[in-house]
Amino acid sequence: EAQVTQNPRYLITVTGKKLTVTCSQNMNHEYMSWYRQDPGLGLRQIYYSMNVEVTDKGDVPEGYKVSRKEKRNFPLILESPSPNQTSLYFCASSPYGGGPGNTIYFGEGSWLTVV
Amino acid sequence: GDSVTQMEGPVTLSEEAFLTINCTYTATGYPSLFWYVQYPGEGLQLLLKATKADDKGSNKGFEATYRKETTSFHLEKGSVQVSDSAVYFCALRGAGGTSYGKLTFGQGTILTVHP
């Protein structure tokens, strides 16, 4: 079954304590990205990766890091979380070829609260 | 850059009422257009899509037509059910380059359907 798997699904953490949200896909997709969802703002892209070792900033990258050492994995790293990073996070993946109508697959989301 | 604007919400309807959620966009070239739905406590699901002008996407009784002349992709359903209560997101995907895999989302519209 085609899947994008995120962990953890729910996390409450304290300001400044480094955390990593993992993302893994089993579809051999080249393109992966992270979004955050906030009320009234929709989803906004944080970082994306077009392939292994190729990453770039999205619209709201401040306070986040990513890495793409393997094709299937794209972890999101919060080096020093702050309360304004409390949000619902989604990982997504898609193949690079085939046209813009290709389906983009989303994970189930990770609820992160920073206190 | 690309942008998507959805009608202000929330929207509250009675069961069997007609639904329209307006969506307009700004983009260069020929983007693909999508509607995603998020049921309470769940992740994002693709509801329907259209990849070129005048295409009509449809699914589960929902429809939307890609109107390039008015840069719109309004979501409609003839008779809503309580189970349609959810948040609806309009989104576009760029035609190429680094925007290829990126979805630009509207702010989301909360729909509540009462019996």
Q: What is the pLDDT of residues B59-94, one digit of tens each?
A: 999 999 999 999 999 999 999 999 999 999 999 988
Write the pLDDT tens digit of every residue in A56-101: 999 999 999 999 999 999 999 999 999 999 999 999 998 876 566 6
Q: What is the DSSP letter of B40?
A: T
> Cis before residue B10, ω within 30 degrees of 0?
yes
H helices of A1-115, where?
Answer: none
Beta-carbon neighbour count of residue A57 at 10 Å? 13
Q: State the DSSP code for B67.
A: B
Judge whether A44 and A58 are in contact, CB under 8 Å. yes
What pLDDT is recorded for position A97?
A: 64
Q: Is the peptide bond before B115 cis (omega within 30 degrees of 0)?
A: no
Cα–Cα dist A31/B101, whole Å: 6
Give B-chain residues touching A42 at CB under 8 angstroms: 4, 6, 89, 105-108
Contacts of A39 (CB under 8 A, 6+ apart): none
Strand partners, B3: B26
Position B48 pLDDT exceeds 80: yes
Q: Please report residues of B whose CB lies closer than 8 A to that of A108.
A: 42-43
pLDDT of residue B98: 61
Comparison of pLDDT for A104 and B65, the residue scoring more: B65
How many CB pairs (< 8 A) connect A and B? 64
The residue-averaged pLDDT of B91-106 equals: 79
pLDDT for residue A29 is more than 80: yes
Q: Which of A10, A37, A103 to mutate to test the interface with B (most CBs of B within 10 A)?
A: A37
Measured between CB atoms, does B57 come within 8 Å of chain A?
no
pLDDT at A46 over 90: yes
Rounded Cα gap, residues B31 and B39, in angstroms: 26
Cβ neighbours of A5 in B, within 8 Å: none
| Element housing B84 (H / E) | none
Residue B9 at interface with chain A, using a CB cutoff of 8 Å = no
Q: Average pLDDT for residues A38-52, to the nearest whole number?
A: 92
Residues 6 or more apart whose CB falls under 8 angstroms from that of A24 comprise A4, A5, A72, A73, A74
Does the CB of B4 have a partner CB in chain A at under 8 Å? yes
Number of helices and strands (H, E) in chain A?
Answer: 0, 11
By the CB < 8 Å criterion, does B100 face chain A? yes
